[in-house]
């Protein structure tokens, strides 16, 4: 790790479903998390759970420095809709020397550009668990990627026992201590995850949480 960077500190830029899940679960795992977001209502939803959150009008070099994100060991750029901003912010973080920069990509071409400038590209809505190759591990039906030693994202194919049950009926987050980021069904990604969503056997649930919680859910899914 380069001098001046905290390997146990994570910067999150952008709070969509992906960024929010990362920020909350990394915080729960005891990591230092710094969050930047332009839309204040997204920050309001998690302000009581994360200490270092910053509402900003734009993501500039000064903002990156003043917020402390430039000293994080890992920064994840979760800006989704605005591809130009995503690339420019990623480039800015890289140029500040952050040791590991991961950026959300919305297409294969977008991902190629991110990789060309030196970032790791991740595709949360398309194929989470296959593109963040830094620590990809496969165990049975589970595609497993580790963002740090005790926080991971996984693809899990749901067993018959989950068929026709809603997320609310399962009390999913409380029971399994995991966040569902995306459901992949019939090769299409569903990112609007609501409590009344009905799951189907064979759905691929893209979940985020502690390694312990993921392993426990994999076991429950098999029984």
Q: What is the pLDDT of residues 29-58, one digit of tens each?
A: 888 889 998 888 887 777 788 888 878 888
Counting beta carbons within 10 angstroms of the beta carbon of residue 210, is it exposed (0 to 12), middle (13 to 18) or buried (19 or more)?
Answer: middle
Q: Is the pLDDT of residue 105 over 80?
A: yes
Q: Is CATH 3.40.50.720 correct for 133-222?
A: no
In DSSP notation, 118-163 reads TPEEE-TTT-TTTS-GGGEEEETTEEEEEEETTEEEEEEEPPGGGT
Closest residue by Cα to residue 69 from 44, 32, 103: 32
Q: What is the pLDDT of residues 70-100, one digit of tens each?
A: 889 999 999 877 899 999 999 999 999 999 9
DSSP for residue 38: S
Q: What is the pLDDT of residues 200-223, one digit of tens each?
A: 998 988 888 888 888 889 888 886
For residue 4, the model assigns a pLDDT of 66
Class of CATH domain 6-122: alpha beta
Query: What are the extents of the domains in the chain?
Result: 6-122, 133-222
């Amino acid at each position: 790790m380069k001098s001046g960077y905290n390997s146990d500190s994570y910067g999150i830029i952008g709070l969509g479903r992906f960024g929010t899940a990362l920020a909350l679960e990394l915080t729960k795992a005891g990591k230092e998390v710094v969050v930047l977001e332009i839309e204040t209502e997204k920050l309001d939803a998690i302000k009581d759970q994360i200490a270092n959150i910053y509402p900003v009008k734009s993501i500039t070099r000064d903002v990156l420095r003043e917020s402390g994100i430039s000293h994080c060991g890992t920064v994840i750029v979760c800006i989704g809709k605005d591809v130009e901003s995503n690339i420019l912010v990623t480039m800015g973080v890289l140029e500040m020397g952050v040791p590991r920069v991961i950026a959300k990509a919305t297409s294969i071409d977008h991902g190629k550009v991110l990789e060309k400038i030196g970032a790791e590209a991740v595709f949360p809505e398309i194929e989470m668990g296959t593109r963040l190759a830094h620590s990809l591990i496969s165990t049975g039906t589970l595609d497993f990627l580790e963002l740090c030693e005790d926080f991971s994202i996984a693809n899990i194919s749901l067993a018959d026992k989950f068929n026709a049950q809603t997320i609310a009926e399962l009390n999913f987050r409380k029971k399994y201590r995991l966040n569902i980021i995306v459901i992949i069904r019939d090769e299409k990604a569903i990112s609007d995850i609501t409590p009344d969503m009905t799951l189907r056997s064979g759905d691929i649930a893209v979940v985020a949480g502690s390694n312990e919680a993921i392993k426990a859910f994999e076991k429950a899914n098999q029984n």
